[in-house]
């Protein structure tokens, strides 16, 4: 049986305990996640993203198989208890990943490519995929199954949601060369296409319409496809007036992400300084 078949078989069988052979299968699966051989979602030749539901089922299987154990480091003042199937991932200098001292955590089952920089404190959850040259800044979160491209900057306090359940749902995707500003949030399986810039404080969710002032379009999630931020878009936080009578009377407005321009030489020049820091 292939690894996929073994995981599908184990996922389909509810049981109270698992054998050593079952745990060996899961550890083989987790090793494949760690080295990037398998991932929760992939981009095809046409640029479309597809979910690998069996991989997400395997990640969920790990939580079902695991037992809560003591994970507190010797002499640590705080106590940690978690599933034994998802300990903190260990790295060596051969992995060529920078994890700057100061309290960051990367859960086992996450792919962290060579050249990634992790500034403390930050957290990457199981099933995430972080590609080469990306920087994850202080207080940032990369959620379970989130797909992060090459040379992305996830700025301080940014939150990249994951979407682990349901297994067939698209996780959050941030493509190559994007900049996610401080205190941004990307959730609910939204896709941010390559070279896009999210200004500080921008929130993108699957259910939030995005208003493009340049192309005079409104982007929404449909029944067949997730919300997508176009390649090279520069998105800022905005608002739109509520058009009901009371909304007008009370002067109310709703949050709305707004595309104000598309990336140009001036935008690129403003981002070059961070290259020296990686």
On whether residue 80 sits in a domain, the answer given is no
On whether residue 79 sits in a domain, the answer given is no
Peptide bond into 121 cis (omega under 30): yes
Q: Which helix (H) or strand (E) element contains residue 236?
A: strand 233-241
Domain that holds residue 245: 5-69+86-269
On whether residue 236 sits in a domain, the answer given is yes
Beta strands in 91-229 (DSSP E): 98-99, 105-106, 111-112, 117-118, 123-124, 129-130, 135-136, 141-142, 147-148, 153-154, 159-160, 173-174, 179-180, 185-186, 191-192, 197-198, 203-204, 210-212, 217-219, 228-229
| Distance in angstroms (rounded) separating the CA atoms of residues 114 and 133 | 7
pLDDT score at 224: 87
Helix (H, G, I), strand (E, B) or coil at 77: coil
pLDDT tens-digit profile, the chain (278 residues): 999 999 999 999 888 889 999 999 999 999 999 999 999 999 999 999 999 999 999 999 999 999 999 999 888 898 999 999 999 999 999 999 999 999 999 999 999 999 999 999 999 999 999 999 999 999 999 999 999 999 999 999 999 999 999 999 999 999 999 999 999 999 999 999 999 999 999 999 998 999 999 999 999 999 889 999 999 999 999 999 999 999 999 999 999 999 999 998 776 766 665 565 55
On whether residue 122 sits in a domain, the answer given is yes
Pairing of strands 117-118, 135-136: parallel
Describe the crossing of helices 20-34 and 53-65 by its angle, rounded to 10 degrees. 130
On whether residue 12 sits in a domain, the answer given is yes
Question: Which CATH number characterizes residue 124's domain?
Answer: 2.160.10.10
On whether residue 64 sits in a domain, the answer given is yes
Quote the tokens at residue 178: 């994007």
On whether residue 193 sits in a domain, the answer given is yes
| Distance in angstroms (rounded) separating the CA atoms of residues 225 and 121 | 34
On whether residue 35 sits in a domain, the answer given is yes
| Distance in angstroms (rounded) separating the CA atoms of residues 143 and 187 | 9
How many helices (DSSP H) and strands (DSSP E) are in the chain? 5, 26
Q: Which of these, 214, 221, 220, 252, lies nearest to 236 by C-alpha position? A: 214
The structural domain count of the chain equals 1
b/e per residue 234-260 (b: at least 16 CB within 10 A): bbbbbeeeeeeeeeeeeeeeeebbbbe
- Whose tokens are 């990457």? That residue is 124
Q: pTM (2 decimals)?
A: 0.94
């Amino acid at each position: 049986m292939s690894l996929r078949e073994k995981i599908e078989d184990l996922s389909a069988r509810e049981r109270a305990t698992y054998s050593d052979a079952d745990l060996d299968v899961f550890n083989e699966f987790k090793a494949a996640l760690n080295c990037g051989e398998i991932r929760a979602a992939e981009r095809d030749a046409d640029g479309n993203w597809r979910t690998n539901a069996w991989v997400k089922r395997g990640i969920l299987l790990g939580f079902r198989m695991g037992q809560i154990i003591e994970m507190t480091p010797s002499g640590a003042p705080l106590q940690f208890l978690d599933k034994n199937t998802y300990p903190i991932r260990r790295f060596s200098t051969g992995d060529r990943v920078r994890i700057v001292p100061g309290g960051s955590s990367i859960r086992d089952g996450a792919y962290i490519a060579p050249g990634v920089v992790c500034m403390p404190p930050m957290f990457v959850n199981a099933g995430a995929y972080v590609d080469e040259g990306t920087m994850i800044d202080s207080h940032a979160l990369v959620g379970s199954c989130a797909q992060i491209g090459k040379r992305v900057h996830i700025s301080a306090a940014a939150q990249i949601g994951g979407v682990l359940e349901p297994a067939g749902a698209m996780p959050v995707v941030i493509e190559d060369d994007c900049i996610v500003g401080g205190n941004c949030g990307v959730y609910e399986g939204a896709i941010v296409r390559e070279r896009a810039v999210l200004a500080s404080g921008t929130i993108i969710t699957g259910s939030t319409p995005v208003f493009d002032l340049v192309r005079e379009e409104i982007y929404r999630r449909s029944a067949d496809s997730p919300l997508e931020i176009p390649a090279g878009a520069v998105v800022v936080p905005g608002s739109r007036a509520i058009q009901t009578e009371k909304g007008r009377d009370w002067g109310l407005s709703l949050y709305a992400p707004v595309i104000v321009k598309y990336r140009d030489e001036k935008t690129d020049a403003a981002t070059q300084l961070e290259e020296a820091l990686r």
